[in-house]
Structure 1
Amino acid sequence: MKTEVINIIEAELMQTFEELFKWFYIDKELLNYAPNNKGWSIRKILEHISLTNQYLLMLISKGTRKALERSKKEDYAERVVDYDLDWQRMKIIGEHNSFVWNRPGHMEPRGKMRLAAIQQELESQLQQCRILLRKMPHGEGALYKIMMSVNNLGKIDVYHHIYFLVQHAKRHLTQIEQVETEFNLGV
């Protein structure tokens, strides 16, 4: 297993969450500004990211457990020697409006969650991801695949799922920047 795959995932994870955390310290008027297209405010986007991560982390945690169980029963070292993540296919997830997706209702922000609670949840989710990556340092995450219907990704392994979580947040960082631009232009 090329540790560089895990290192890249973790580096992008850290960078993406650092960018997310900056948005908790902006002016309240910008934070709560609802764009003209009836889209979400930055506050609601941050809530949506935390809600989606919550769901994804349930799948990722389960996948990690299953992958680690398999790693104890299989000799997988040769299987993961040439492992590489499908970077290009996954990066599309991080591009805002790159595909159509109807999110489930439980990922819809309600706007009632306290801002501090959203931030705390995201901080906890970041740590969970880092812990799960550390539990699978030798390619174990490649041993278990979970279905991902978003953009017809199909069955993807645990490393891909963690990278999906990162890309999903990046997608919404672009959306946040668009809200900020509209706010600053006074449209």
Structure 2
Amino acid sequence: MKTEVINIIETELVQTFDELFKWFNIDRELLTYAPTNKGWSINKILEHISLTNHYLLMLISKGTRKALEKSKKEDYAERLTDYDLDWQRIRVIGQHNSFVWNRPGHMEPRGKMRVADIRRELESQLQQCRMLLLKMPHGEGALYKIMMSVNNLGKIDMYHYIYFLVQHAKRHITQMEGVEVEYNLGV
């Protein structure tokens, strides 16, 4: 259970962030292009991902500490026998426009963050996620759950939370690809 789930999360985490980092190498004009639907530019989308990650990682870090504390107080091996991450329920988060969600204002990009700062923040967040996974190698992340109101997910554990972060980034990669298509069509 544990190793397979953690390895899948780690692999998708790294692949997704590698994909995100490619967007920092695009032409400045494309990076700042505002789509005709009054949506965000790629620059703003990247800023939004970093802002959302910031707040998610606050919860994940706190939850990881609590999960590790719990793991020291109880024998949890039997609880993990049939554990599997609810992959499909979380993968929906990675599909752009798959559900309606009104994001909190503090996750709205302002467009004032420098591109280099956004990239550094995302690099730091990737390392933070990897360190959190390393701290929970034996299934400890399954021991503590926090409410997730997005798409009515309910209480999810720390592995689900990290996978949610990955899927959120994937959702916005699709959005950036749409902006790029519109830009290239010259709409």
TM-score range, shorter chain: over 0.9
Shift of residue 173, structure 1, vs aligned partner: 0.2
Task: Report the secondary structure of 2:161's partner residue.
Answer: helix
Shift of residue 2, structure 1, vs aligned partner: 3.0
Alignment-derived partner of residue 114 in structure 1: 114
Partners of 2:40 and 2:18 in 1: how far apart?
21
Q: Are 1:53 and 1:165, in contact at CA under 8 Å, matched by a contact in 2?
A: yes
Alignment-derived partner of residue 173 in structure 1: 173
Alignment-derived partner of residue 64 in structure 1: 64
Deviations 1:42-92 (A, max 9, x none): 000000000000000000000000000000000001111221000000000
Shift of residue 4, structure 1, vs aligned partner: 0.6
Partners of 1:54 and 1:123 in 2: how far apart?
12
Alignment-derived partner of residue 33 in structure 2: 33
Identity over aligned pairs, percent: 84
**Which structure 1 residue ranges, 5 or more long, are not aligned?**
none
Alignment-derived partner of residue 95 in structure 1: 95
Alignment-derived partner of residue 162 in structure 2: 162
Partners of 2:154 and 2:78 in 1: how far apart?
24
Letter in 2 for 1:63: G
Partners of 1:133 and 1:2 in 2: how far apart?
11
Task: Report the secondary structure of 1:40's partner residue.
Answer: coil
Q: Are 1:2 and 1:81, in contact at CA under 8 Å, matched by a contact in 2?
A: no
Task: Report the secondary structure of 2:120's partner residue.
Answer: helix
Structure 2 counterparts to residues 176-187 of structure 1, below 5 A: 176-187=176-187
Deviations 1:113-139 (A, max 9, x none): 010000000000000000000000000
Deviations 1:138-159 (A, max 9, x none): 0000000000000000000000
Letter in 2 for 1:166: V
Structural RMSD (CA): 0.5
Alignment-derived partner of residue 2 in structure 2: 2
Q: Are 1:145 and 1:158, in contact at CA under 8 Å, matched by a contact in 2?
A: yes
Letter in 1 for 2:46: L
Aligned length: 187
**Which structure 2 residue ranges, 5 or more long, are not aligned?**
none
Q: Which runs of 4+ in 1 moved over 6 A?
A: none
